[in-house]
Amino acid sequence: MALKTTRRAFIATGAATIALSYHDRGWTQTWPSRPIKIICGYPAGGLTDSLARIYGEYLSQRLSQSVVVENKAGASGSIAAAAVKQSPHDGYTLLVANTVTLAQSRVLVKSLPYDADKDFVLISCMPAGPLPFVAAKATNVTNLKELVDYARKNETNVGTWGPGSLPHIAVAELNKQYDLRMKAVFYRGEAPMWQDFAAGVLQAAMGSYTNTVNALESGTGKAIALPARTRSSKLPDVPTFAEQGVDSRIFALTGYIFLAGPAGMPQEIVERLSDLMIEAGRTDKIQKLLDSYGIDESAQGHIAFRKLYDSETPIWVDATRALGLAPE
């Protein structure tokens, strides 16, 4: 039997739809009406945590609500990401993690508890700064060509902070292009890696600017290349890998720390947070912090982040998969 819609029912349905729409807009206009939680996928004290807290402080000031950072470290940010995925998509629970959480973890983590492409809305990304490739003083290497020549004649161990990390990928890509047999040596974090580097155990290492500075200033190592599109203001004399003839696209990617929320967050909230992150990055306080980490770029908004994510994620994933690592 055909259903009939009376004029009264049609008017009632339309009124309900208008009321619902108005209610949704009103809800987003009153956001936030209670504290916001940022779940950070890495331990307190590191760069990811530091950025979560200093940007969170600015958000708190501008939104007139507390922003609390909760650290849920483990599995390269996957534990935190899973927690945010399962949270209500109301703008009160956000995620801060890094490139690995959205890209390499697809290969490195067995039974990943989220789909990076579907389970999150991207809000902002914060470039993580330079990762200098440093040759030990004992090698007498001052540029990439000399490293290649050295590695062809000598055993060359390169320190990395873990399997699937950019330094690990870098070693694999250099071996491939130059037919070398450099060995990536894995450490649990940068601190023990740089200790071994200073002790002469490693012939090269690759890590964050802040941890590299000691090796450079003490003279135990020399930065010979940067995986970046442009040179660093902190290391203006150090050429990029591309400038020295390296073909792999992995050396021109942007490693980042990001802010995201669970899929389904209202677009108005996404745009508000995105705008505030850009604002925050221009403040003197955050500029000073970024400078201390050797970071030249501040937070980008959701549109730029989406473009970066779509163009570079497949490259990260393919390069990580090529390592042949078994997921854990």
Tell me if 220 sits within 8 A of 134, measured CB to CB: no
CA distances in angstroms from 317 to 255, 313, 325, listed in the order given? 13, 6, 12
* pLDDT at residue 24, as a whole number: 47
Rg over alpha carbons for the chain, rounded to the nearest Å, is 23
The residue whose two tokens read 């779940």 is: 39
Tell me if 37 sits within 8 A of 94, measured CB to CB: yes
| Spatial separation of the C-alpha atoms in residues 250 and 306, rounded to whole Å | 18
CATH fold for the domain made of 35-128+255-321: D-Maltodextrin-Binding Protein; domain 2 (3.40.190)
Q: In this predicted model, what pLDDT tens digit does every residue of 128-181 receive, in sequence order?
A: 998 999 999 999 999 999 999 999 999 999 999 889 999 999 999 999 999 999
* 249 pLDDT higher than 80: yes
Domain boundaries along the sequence of the chain: 35-128+255-321, 133-252
Average pLDDT, the chain: 91
User: pTM for the full model?
Assistant: 0.88
| Spatial separation of the C-alpha atoms in residues 230 and 226, rounded to whole Å | 8
Q: Which CATH number fits domain 133-252: 3.40.190.10, 3.40.50.300, 3.30.950.10, 3.90.1150.10?
A: 3.40.190.10
